[in-house]
């Protein structure tokens, strides 16, 4: 969190629209892939010359340009010129600390989304995915690249489903749908960690358990922070009146909206579960203290009277009749054993043993 803020705060004092890449560099140089398709046609190529991406006015079908990596600012500026993007759009694409949102720039829709990746240490790392949806084209920007969009590409290549027949709005839907689905994978993994933690919690809670609970709680907060605005955003896509989204596509966005709500429901349920686990942890501490105290009390209660009796007959008074008795010593032993047994029965009765 603090890091994100630190990165953001370097922009202080710069004019809006000043293009600075806020975020870490993840890939060496940007990779640009272009897809052109309609029901009958499908072209896929890698682009190096930016002129290749200019779309002739009379072109039919859908063009999808996918850019992995954001550090090449001149490239982005060129993209902006070719497709007529507002300077604020470019700034937002570069600033990877955005919240998920949708912005309607009349000529195009600008969509920001967040995806999570599970790091090797089990933590979550955020990645920003931006999309610009035009009348017959769509440009997607991925901070780190990766396989997130592979299934969509596969479906395009295979020509399965509506994807090739429908317009760029349906392709946008496919991408958003894939991103929301990726949250289920994350939640799956978090759910498993919660379950493991629950078992640990009951068998042998340690301070580390508490820290693990807190860590999971914080990851839930992170997820929540991304999913809530994403839900809102998808919801407004589902009732959009922009001409860029056809009437017939709205229902698909509403379907994704239902999935986003389900993600939120699950996050809220996990949060409730983690709160419950905190209660269990704290009461387990109390319970243990109780048990430690009981052991101490039992030991003290049994041995203090016995030591007292031993002390009595260790006194050096001249006249102590019991000391003279032949069976005195054994009698005292008998009394001591008797007291100890009675004590133990008493504690058994009070369920302290």
Closest-CA residue to 175 (of 135, 143, 127, 129):
129
Is 9 among the residues that bind a second copy (CB under 8 A)?
yes
42, 305, 339, 344: which one binds a second copy (CB under 8 A): 305
- Residues 266-295 contacting a second copy, CB under 8 A: 266, 269-270, 272-273, 276, 278-290, 292-295
Is 235 among the residues that bind a second copy (CB under 8 A)?
no
Closest-CA residue to 152 (of 44, 73, 56):
44
Pick the piece of the chain touching a second copy (CB under 8 A) from 41-49, 63-71, 76-84, 316-324.
316-324
Closest-CA residue to 232 (of 50, 100, 142):
100
- Residues 317-336 contacting a second copy, CB under 8 A: 317-320, 322-329, 332
Given its phi and psi angles, is residue 351 left (phi above 0), alpha (psi -120 to 50 degrees) or beta? Answer: left
Q: Tokens representing 70?
A: 């954001």
- Residues 88-127 contacting a second copy, CB under 8 A: 88, 91-92, 97-99, 101, 103, 105
Angle between helices 247-312 and 328-349 (to 10 degrees): 160
Q: What is the C-alpha separation between 308 and 293, in angstroms, rounded?
A: 22
- Residues 176-205 contacting a second copy, CB under 8 A: 177-178, 181-182, 184-185, 187-188, 191-192, 194-195, 202, 204
User: Closest distance between a second copy and the C-beta of residue 243, in Å?
Assistant: 19
Q: What is the dihedral of CA 111, 114, 115, 117, to 10 degrees?
A: 150
Nearer to a second copy, 43 or 88 (CB): 88
Nearer to a second copy, 5 or 57 (CB): 5
**How does 239-263 read in b/e, with b if 16+ C-beta sit within 10 Å?**
ebebebbeeebbebbeebbebbeeb
Nearer to a second copy, 45 or 341 (CB): 341
Query: With contacts defined by CB under 8 A, how many residues of the chain interact with a second copy?
Result: 124
CA angle 92, 97, 100 (to 5 degrees): 75
Is 316 among the residues that bind a second copy (CB under 8 A)?
yes
Contacts of 240 (CB under 8 A, 6+ apart): 250, 253
27, 261, 339, 344: which one binds a second copy (CB under 8 A): 261
Nearer to a second copy, 37 or 270 (CB): 270
Nearer to a second copy, 59 or 287 (CB): 287
């Amino acid at each position: 969190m603090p890091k994100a803020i630190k990165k953001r705060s370097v922009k202080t004092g710069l004019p809006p629209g000043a293009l600075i890449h806020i975020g870490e560099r993840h890939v060496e140089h940007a990779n640009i892939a272009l897809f052109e398709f309609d029901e009958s046609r499908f072209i896929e190529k890698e682009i190096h010359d930016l002129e290749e991406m200019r779309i002739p006015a009379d072109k039919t079908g859908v063009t999808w340009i996918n850019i992995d990596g954001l550090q090449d600012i001149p490239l982005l500026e060129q993209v902006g010129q070719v497709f007529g993007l507002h300077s604020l759009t470019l700034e937002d694409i570069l600033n990877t600390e955005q919240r998920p949102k949708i912005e309607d720039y009349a000529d195009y829709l600008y969509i920001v989304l967040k995806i999570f990746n599970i790091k090797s240490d089990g933590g979550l790392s955020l990645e920003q995915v931006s999309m610009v949806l035009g009348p017959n084209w769509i440009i997607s920007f991925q901070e780190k690249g990766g396989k997130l969009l592979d299934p969509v590409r596969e479906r395009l290549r295979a020509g399965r489903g509506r994807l090739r027949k429908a317009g760029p709005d349906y392709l946008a839907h496919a991408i958003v749908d894939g991103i929301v689905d990726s949250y289920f994978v994350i939640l799956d993994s978090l759910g498993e960690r919660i379950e493991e933690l629950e078992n640990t919690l009951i068998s042998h809670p340690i301070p580390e358990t508490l820290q693990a609970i807190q860590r999971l709680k914080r990851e839930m907060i992170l997820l929540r922070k991304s999913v809530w605005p994403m839900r809102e955003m998808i919801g407004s896509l589902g009732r959009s009146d922009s001409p860029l989204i056809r009437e017939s596509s709205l229902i698909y966005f509403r379907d994704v909206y239902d999935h986003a709500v389900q993600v939120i429901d699950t996050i809220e349920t996990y949060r409730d579960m983690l709160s419950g686990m905190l209660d269990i942890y704290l009461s387990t501490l109390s319970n243990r203290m109780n048990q430690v105290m009981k052991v101490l009390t039992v030991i003290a209660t049994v041995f203090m009277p016995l030591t007292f009796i031993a002390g009595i007959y260790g006194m050096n008074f001249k006249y102590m009749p019991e000391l003279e008795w032949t069976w005195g010593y054994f009698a005292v032993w008998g009394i001591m054993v008797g007291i100890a047994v009675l004590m133990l029965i008493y504690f058994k009765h009070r369920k302290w043993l």
